[in-house]
Structure 1
Amino acid sequence: MNFNYTPEQEKLASHLIKLEKNALDKFYQGDVSGYLDLWSKDNFTYFDVNCAERIDDWQQIADFMNKNVAGKMHADSYDFHNPRVQFGKDMAVLTYQLHADTSMIEMHYNVIEVFQKTEDGWHVIHSTWDLIQPFSPNVKRPKTNVAV
């Protein structure tokens, strides 16, 4: 990582990335507990391409994960690509791209994890897993080209 972090930010970025990778390691063995422990039980929202609406609390995501993912999601490996952590006061945003060929689907996601520091450590208060693609087929294309 080289994002002009201070030494303290470098250490924290490494810690948050490790938390995320530990959750992913479990996730790809069919164990959703890594994410259920990482995600805030008090203040949590979640967007996923497979959910029609935002999930608004930890219990709702726990029910979704236990019903739809636990014991079913397996992958021998995954690509945790280009992680970056951005910092605010007692908050941090981890973004990365995730690629994995799993037992359920071939995953290519842009992932956003918003961490908040609490009395018992760092927890994710918002998580978004969205497909890597320029435009959804249901979104109207812009009338003019937008250069990046």
Structure 2
Amino acid sequence: MNKVFNIMKDEKTKVWYYKNDEEKQIAEHIIGLEEAALEKWFNGDTSGYAELWSKRSFTYFDAVATSRAENFDDIIPLLKKVEGNLKADSYEVRDPRVQLGKDMAVLTYQLFAKTNLINIDYNCIEVFQKEEDGKWYAIHSTWSVIRPMDVNFSIFKEVV
């Protein structure tokens, strides 16, 4: 599988600067968590996101869903549908950025994926929180189509 994780280089190429090394390390850690989950996801293994998404407090908006998943249990049917079925020939993550607050972080990036089910371009948002165990978990996830007017949504019903 071809994968690309494009991290921005400087202000002219849209880099995000961190206040200090600790912020940069946290950002790199969060991007690494997402990259590991995506790597599994595009090999038909949903365990990466099952581990990344908070069991305590989680919500989810999907590009093809008409309502928000209100907790982790609501997302389990989606994980079961995808498990073993989704494979990517290639994918690219562009311009990941982590914005940090106290024990909170927002990761945004664009995802371009060519899969066995559908090829689509997403704007991705993951809101992270450092939980009581000291680990970072996504408490909210949104996957939205970059240019929905260019997508034939009728095929989504067959996919998910």
TM-score range normalised by the length of the shorter chain: 0.7 to 0.9
Question: Residue 83 of structure 1 aligns to a residue in which SS?
Answer: strand
**1:63, distance to aligned residue in structure 2 (A):** 2.0
**1:135, distance to aligned residue in structure 2 (A):** 6.1
**1:95, distance to aligned residue in structure 2 (A):** 0.1
Distance 2:16 2:35 in 1: 20
Question: Residue 51 of structure 1 aligns to a residue in which SS?
Answer: coil
* 41 and 136 in structure 1: CA distance in 2 versus 1, 3 angstrom threshold: farther
List alignment gaps of at least 5 residues for structure 2: 1-7, 9-14, 152-160
The alignment's C-alpha RMSD in Å is: 1.6
Point out which structure has higher relative CO (alpha carbons under 8 A, 6+ apart): 2
Counterpart amino acid of residue 126 in structure 1:
H
**1:19, distance to aligned residue in structure 2 (A):** 0.2
TM-score for the superposition, normalised by structure 2 = 0.80
List alignment gaps of at least 5 residues for structure 1: 138-148
Counterpart amino acid of residue 96 in structure 2:
P
**1:22, distance to aligned residue in structure 2 (A):** 0.2
Distance 1:125 1:106 in 2: 26
Residue 117 of structure 2: aligned partner: 104
The answer to whether the aligner puts 1:89 opposite 2:102 as a matched pair is yes
The answer to whether the aligner puts 1:15 opposite 2:29 as a matched pair is yes
Distance 1:3 1:80 in 2: 16
**1:70, distance to aligned residue in structure 2 (A):** 1.0
Counterpart amino acid of residue 107 in structure 1:
I
Q: Please, which of 47, 51, 55 is the counterpart of residue 41 of structure 1?
A: 55
**1:136, distance to aligned residue in structure 2 (A):** 8.8
TM-score for the superposition, normalised by structure 1 = 0.87
**1:4, distance to aligned residue in structure 2 (A):** 2.2
